[in-house]
Structure 1
Amino acid sequence: MQLLTVWAGLIAVAVSAFIHRSSVLEDDDTTQLPLVIWHGLGDDFERDGLKQVASLAESINPGTYVHIIRLADTGSGDRRATFFGNVTEQIETVCEQLAANPILSTAPAVNALGFSQGGQFLRGYIERCNSPPVRNLVTFGSQHNGISDFQSCSLGDWLCNGAEALLRSGRWTDFAQGRVVPAQYFRDPSELDAYLEKSNFLADINNERELKNVQYKKNLQSLNVFAMYMFDDDTVVVPKESAVFAEVNSTDGTVTPLQERPIYKEDWLGLKALDDQGKLHFKSAPGQHMELSEELLRKTFKEYFGPVEDGKAISSPRLVAQPGY
Structure 2
Amino acid sequence: MLRFITVLAAIATGALSVAVSPALAPDIDQTTQLPLVIWHGLGDDFERDGLQEVADLAASANPGTHVHLIRLADTGGGDRQATFFGNVTEQIATVCQQLAAEPILSSAPAINALGFSQGGQFLRGYIERCNNPPVHNLVTFGSQHNGISEFQSCKTGDWICNGAEALLRSGQWTDFVQSHLVPAQYFRDPNELDDYLEHSNFLADINNERVLKNTDYKKRLATLNKFAMFMFDNDTIAVPKESALFAEVNITSGTVTPLQERPIYKEDWLGLKQLDGQGRLDFKSVPGQHMHLTDKILERTFKEYFGRVQNSQLRLQMESQQEPVTQPFSGSSGLLVQAQPGF
Q: TM-score, normalised by structure 2?
A: 0.87
Matched residue, 2:21: 21
Matched residue, 2:137: 136
Alpha-carbon shift at residue 26 of structure 1 (Å): 12
Matched residue, 1:255: 256
Evaluate the alpha carbon distance shift between residue 26 and residue 118 of structure 1 in structure 2; reply closer, same or farther with a 3 A threshold: farther
Output the amino acid matched with 1:293.
T
The question of whether the paired residues in 1 share the 8 Å contact of 2:20 and 2:33 is answered with no
Question: In 1, distance between residues paired with 2:264 and 2:276?
Answer: 13
Matched residue, 1:177: 178
Question: In 2, distance between residues paired with 1:102 and 1:35?
Answer: 13
Matched residue, 1:226: 227
Secondary structure in structure 1 of the residue aligned to 2:292: coil
The question of whether the paired residues in 2 share the 8 Å contact of 1:167 and 1:182 is answered with no
The question of whether the paired residues in 2 share the 8 Å contact of 1:25 and 1:32 is answered with no
Matched ranges for 1:159-238 at <5 A: 159-238=160-239
Secondary structure in structure 2 of the residue aligned to 1:36: strand
Matched ranges for 1:224-303 at <5 A: 224-303=225-304
Identity %: 74
Which one has the bigger helix percentage? 1
Question: In 2, distance between residues paired with 1:224 and 1:306?
Answer: 13
The question of whether the paired residues in 1 share the 8 Å contact of 2:30 and 2:310 is answered with yes
Secondary structure in structure 2 of the residue aligned to 1:103: helix
Question: In 1, distance between residues paired with 2:284 and 2:165?
Answer: 29
Question: In 1, distance between residues paired with 2:266 and 2:329?
Answer: 23
- Cα distance per residue 1:82-111 (max 9 Å; x no partner): 000000000000000000011000100000
Question: In 2, distance between residues paired with 1:21 and 1:222?
Answer: 22
Matched residue, 1:71: 72
Q: TM-score, normalised by structure 1?
A: 0.92
Output the amino acid matched with 1:210.
V
The question of whether the paired residues in 2 share the 8 Å contact of 1:236 and 1:289 is answered with yes
Does residue 321 of structure 1 match 2:329?
yes
More moved, 308-317 vs 47-56: 308-317
The question of whether the paired residues in 2 share the 8 Å contact of 1:216 and 1:321 is answered with no
Output the amino acid matched with 1:285.
V
Question: In 1, distance between residues paired with 2:21 and 2:302?
Answer: 20
Matched residue, 1:115: 116
The question of whether the paired residues in 1 share the 8 Å contact of 2:196 and 2:204 is answered with yes
Matched residue, 2:309: 308
Alpha-carbon shift at residue 251 of structure 1 (Å): 1.0
Secondary structure in structure 1 of the residue aligned to 2:68: strand
The alignment covers a number of residue pairs equal to 309
Alpha-carbon shift at residue 25 of structure 1 (Å): 7.1
Matched residue, 1:10: none
Secondary structure in structure 2 of the residue aligned to 1:122: helix
The question of whether the paired residues in 2 share the 8 Å contact of 1:36 and 1:68 is answered with yes
Question: In 2, distance between residues paired with 1:167 and 1:211?
Answer: 28
More moved, 192-201 vs 164-173: 164-173
Matched residue, 1:39: 40
Secondary structure in structure 2 of the residue aligned to 1:104: helix
